[in-house]
A and B are shown apart, each in its own frame.
Chain A
Amino acid sequence: MTIHKITLRNILLAALVILVAAIVLIRICLHRSIHTTSPEVNSQSEPQRIVSLAPNITEILFELGLADKVIAVSNDCDWPPEALGKEKIGSFWQPSVEAVISCKPDLVITLWFQQQSNVADSLKRLGYKVLTLRLEKLDELAPAIEKIGAATGRSEEAERLLGDINAQIERVKQKYDNQTRPRVLWVVQPEPLRVAGSNTFITELLELAGAQNAISLTSIQYPGLSTEELLTCRADVIIQAAMNKDTIEQQRREAVEFWSKYKNLPAVRNNRIYVVDPDTILRLGPRIGLGLEQIGRIIHEP
């Protein structure tokens, strides 16, 4: 038990000095890198190597005719099918900075949420050109497409795409406007039951498609429903998001069986239970107009 405090302290002090010195050194190294790179380098010319971190961004890029300029996408980018063949930079939820850098991009497009904005910040520090978009509500789609168009030199194509999407939405709106508005229960997950509440993007779509959400005002986005509320929601149509897009028919059979115990719901009595692929219908991208048409058809033209 003979230990000299001073010696131990000296060791610790030395360790401290070494670490601080190392940090300072690295700091100087990186400091230089931050200031010698200029993010303006590519802003004049059109980007030739684009990396997209989200499925809806990828879809927009392909729609703008940038298929051959998109170098890499996230693992979750599955549409259009050509996107599957692109280089991968990790999952939508945890993209890898390293994988992005190794693609030598001249434009990286990310979404706004925590995990992606972390990646965006790291890339910006290295001098990469990054476009970060908010894309959570229907009215954020138009500005997002415009920004992507402006950043890629495809503003005209972006305007045309927006025109098409708006025309599709307008058509659906006109078509079902003067009909009675059926009450739709949108099921996010059957067991335990979770449905789309009133203040969601889904309610927006339902209203555009000439229907209404069977669930009235809730503060919770995707509430669980008690049997009592379920029985009194008077849903005319039940639409259930598929868990797996390959087994939709089977999931529909299971859903019909699951709902058969709530006989007093008009949807169950009239066999108006549907299972849809949420990726094609709900992804906030260029296909949203088509998704809306599909929702309209399901609700009004059984």
Chain B
Amino acid sequence: MKAKTLTARNVAAKTAAALLLLIVILFFCTLTGSHPVSLKNALSGDEGQGHNIDYEIIFGSRLPRVLLAAIVGAALACAGVTLQAILRNPLADPYILGISSGAGLGGALAIMLASVLGSWAGVSVGIFAFAGALGTVWLVWFIGHFATGRSSATSLLLAGVVVNAFFSALIMFLTQIAKSYQLREIWLWLMGSITEKNLAVIGASAIAVLLGLVGLFSIAQRLNVLTLGRAEAQGLGVATARTNLIAFALAAFVTSVAVSLSGLIGFVGLIVPHGVRLIFGPDHRQLLPLSALCGAALLVIADTLARTVIAPAQLPVGIITAIAGGPFFLILLARYNRKVSWTK
């Protein structure tokens, strides 16, 4: 172990620095947009609809979006870290076990049933996607764990691939029978984008994601041991099956929340964990909090770009994360010639 000893103070300092950076980024991204606004004016408060445009733009449009991007980014990054650890696979991302196709199927169904759902149509996409994501994860866990009779990362991955392929086929089928405008709705939703949501939704999902993340932080040490391998972990006294289950359930939960808020935003859950690991090392006790903060920052910046580069038109944020994330990741790889790995 060549890495420096990790002390609590060290972790706290890095986390605090990252948190501060995130707050600065949140602040500046809230002030950035297609229309110039004055913060002073905005802070003078609401003066009735249409009177204080600055207030409405900042508190009604930008802040909800920025907060939502932060929540989704943190959730995806931490889910990526966790899945890479329990599957012991550097290619794992939050969507690897079929969550994307399950959520996609739920979202597509909700869009197609919109006329049946009536006034619930607005929220139903999120609810259906959440249910689809959790249902799929359960199915994958069930197939991977019980149907194959052994609990290895490989059988989970295989179950994920099969379920993914099956649900993707169902989505393709749905797009065939969809009306042309529904097709475009589904397609845009699948690409992932951050939209303004009401504060109750943002608050509830922030609490849900935070609880999930705190849960993951509390098993960080056990995740460290898990990455050594199953036999070694058991030798060190870690109940691998139980830890796996807890980690898997928490990662699936936060990913499902993220997906139901924003559709399928790719790359964040893959790049951020690797980036943080390359720079700070693979100890999950700091990897998890730092990934959460960096994931939040990355998605907030990406969404700010998405809503400003071709303003007033907007891009799906998934395009930005993929275009910016890929090269950024390569630069990191080149600069730090430590091996990209998921173990310590």
Q: Could you tell me which A residues sit within 8 Å of B by CB distance?
A: 1-5, 7-9, 11-12, 15-16, 19-20, 23-24, 26-27, 29-33, 36-39, 41, 75, 88-91, 93-99, 101-102, 104-106, 113-115, 117-119, 121-122, 125-128, 136, 219-222
Contacts and interface: CB of A to CB of B under 8 A. Distances in A.
B49 A41 contact: yes
Interface of B: 5-9, 11-12, 15-16, 19, 33-35, 46, 48-50, 53, 55-57, 59-64, 67, 111, 114, 121-122, 125, 176-182, 184-185, 188-189, 193, 195-196, 198-200, 202-203, 206-207, 210, 214, 217-218, 221, 285, 289, 307, 311-316
Contact of A27 (B9, B62, B180, B203): B203
A30 B56 CA distance: 10
A3 B184 contact: no
A105 B203 CA distance: 29
Contacts of B202: 23
A220 to B, nearest CB: 5
Majority DSSP secondary structure for residues of A touching B: helix
Given A101-B60, A221-B178, A1 B5 contact: yes
Contacts of A98: 33-35, 57, 61-62, 307, 312
A125 B311 contact: no
Nearest to B60: A126
Nearest to B26: A22
A91 B313 contact: yes
A278 to B, nearest CB: 11
6 contacts: A26-B67, A32-B46, A98-B35, A99-B311, A115-B185, A221-B180
Contacts of B114: 113-114
Contacts of B9: 7
B35 A99 contact: yes
Nearest to B195: A118
A11 B9 CA distance: 10
Given A3-B8, A99-B311, A39 B217 contact: no
B199 A27 contact: yes
Nearest to A33: B46
Given A8-B217, A30-B199, A98-B57, 9 more contacts: A15-B15, A15-B289, A26-B199, A36-B46, A95-B312, A96-B311, A117-B121, A125-B198, A220-B177
